[in-house]
C-alpha cells in the first residue's frame, strides 16, 4: 500500500487542479460528512484535510482548523502532522472530521490516529469519518481501474462494519455507520474526465479509456439538461469520546 503522505507529496497539485476547476462537483460528499455533525460543535478539525476544502460547507459560526499528513498539502494555513502526532493541544476540538484519507494509512497507524483524535476531543466530542466501503463499486473503480492506470497504483484498505469495534477499542462510544449515496456533478463528460484524471492521478489512460472506465464501473448518466451525474457512495462513521 502506498502511503498517503507519499502519494500526495507527488500529486497534490493534480488534486488542487481538479478541485479548483470544478469546486462544486463533490458538494454531496462534503455535505454527507456533515450530516452527523452536532449543531453545538463549533471548534472543528479536518484531518487529513486534502487542501482545506471542507471550510466552504460550514456554518459561519464554526471555527475550522485543517491539518494534513503530506507535505504536498501542508503550508502556511495547513500544518503538517502525522497519524501519530497532530500539532494541537489536548481537548481543543468539539469534532474531528476525516474524509477519504485513511484508506491509504496502515491499520497500525490508523489506531495511533484514533488515539490522537481522542486526545484532541473534548468530553462528548465527535469523531466523524467518511471512507470507501468494502465491496462497493467505488472501491472496485479505485482498486481495479485506477490501480491499473495510475503509475503509483491504488491499493486502498477499505471499510465496513468491522471498523465499529475498532472505534470502541480506541475509547469511543456509540459508534454508528451509515452508507450514503449521492452523485458527483459535472457540466459535461469532458469536465468529468478531467476531474477524475487529476483527482485520482490517472496518468496511464487516454480520455476515451477513462470515460469507458467511468461508464463500466460507475454507470454515469446524462441528465435532461445535458449535465453529468456520476454515482458515488461512501460509508460514514460517527462516534463520541467517552
pLDDT tens series, the chain, 242 aa: 579 999 999 999 999 999 999 999 999 999 999 999 999 999 999 999 999 999 999 999 999 999 999 999 999 899 999 999 999 999 999 999 999 999 999 999 999 999 999 999 999 999 999 999 999 999 999 999 999 999 999 999 999 999 999 999 999 999 999 999 999 999 999 999 999 999 999 999 999 999 999 999 999 999 999 999 999 999 999 999 98
For the domain with range 4-134+156-183+233-241, which CATH number is right: 3.40.50.150, 3.10.20.30, 3.30.560.10, 3.40.50.450?
Answer: 3.40.50.150
Per-domain residue ranges of the chain: 4-134+156-183+233-241
Beta-strand pair 93-99/121-131: parallel
Encode 1-51 in three state secondary structure: CCCHHHHHHHHHHHHHHHHHHCCCCCHHHHHHHHCCCCCCCCEEEECCCCC
Instruction: Determine contact, residues 95/127, Cβ cutoff 8 Å.
Output: yes
Amino acid at each position: 500500500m502506498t502511503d498517503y503522505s507519499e502519494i500526495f507529496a507527488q500529486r497534490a497539485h493534480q488534486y488542487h487542479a481538479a478541485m479548483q476547476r470544478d469546486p462544486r462537483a463533490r458538494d454531496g460528499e462534503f455535505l454527507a460528512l456533515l450530516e452527523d455533525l452536532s449543531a453545538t460543535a463549533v471548534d472543528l478539525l479536518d484531518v487529513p484535510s486534502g487542501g482545506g476544502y471542507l471550510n466552504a460547507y460550514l456554518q459561519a459560526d464554526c471555527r475550522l482548523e485543517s491539518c494534513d499528513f503530506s507535505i504536498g498539502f501542508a503550508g502556511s494555513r495547513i500544518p503538517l502532522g502525522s497519524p501519530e502526532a497532530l500539532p494541537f493541544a489536548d481537548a481543543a476540538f468539539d469534532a474531528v472530521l476525516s474524509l477519504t484519507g485513511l484508506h491509504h494509512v496502515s491499520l497500525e497507524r490508523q489506531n495511533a490516529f484514533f488515539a490522537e483524535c481522542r486526545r484532541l476531543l473534548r468530553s462528548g466530542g465527535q469523531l466523524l469519518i467518511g471512507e470507501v466501503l468494502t465491496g462497493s463499486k467505488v472501491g472496485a473503480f479505485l482498486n481495479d481501474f485506477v490501480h491499473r492506470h495510475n503509475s503509483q497504483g491504488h491499493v486502498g484498505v477499505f471499510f465496513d462494519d468491522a471498523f465499529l469495534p475498532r472505534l470502541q477499542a480506541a475509547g469511543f462510544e456509540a459508534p454508528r455507520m451509515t452508507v450514503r449515496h449521492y452523485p458527483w456533478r459535472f457540466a459535461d463528460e469532458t469536465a468529468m474526465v478531467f476531474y477524475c484524471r487529476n483527482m485520482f492521478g490517472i496518468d496511464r489512460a487516454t480520455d476515451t479509456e477513462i470515460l469507458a472506465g467511468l461508464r463500466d464501473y460507475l454507470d454515469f448518466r446524462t441528465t435532461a439538461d445535458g449535465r453529468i451525474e456520476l454515482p458515488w457512495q461512501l460509508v460514514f462513521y460517527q462516534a463520541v469520546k467517552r
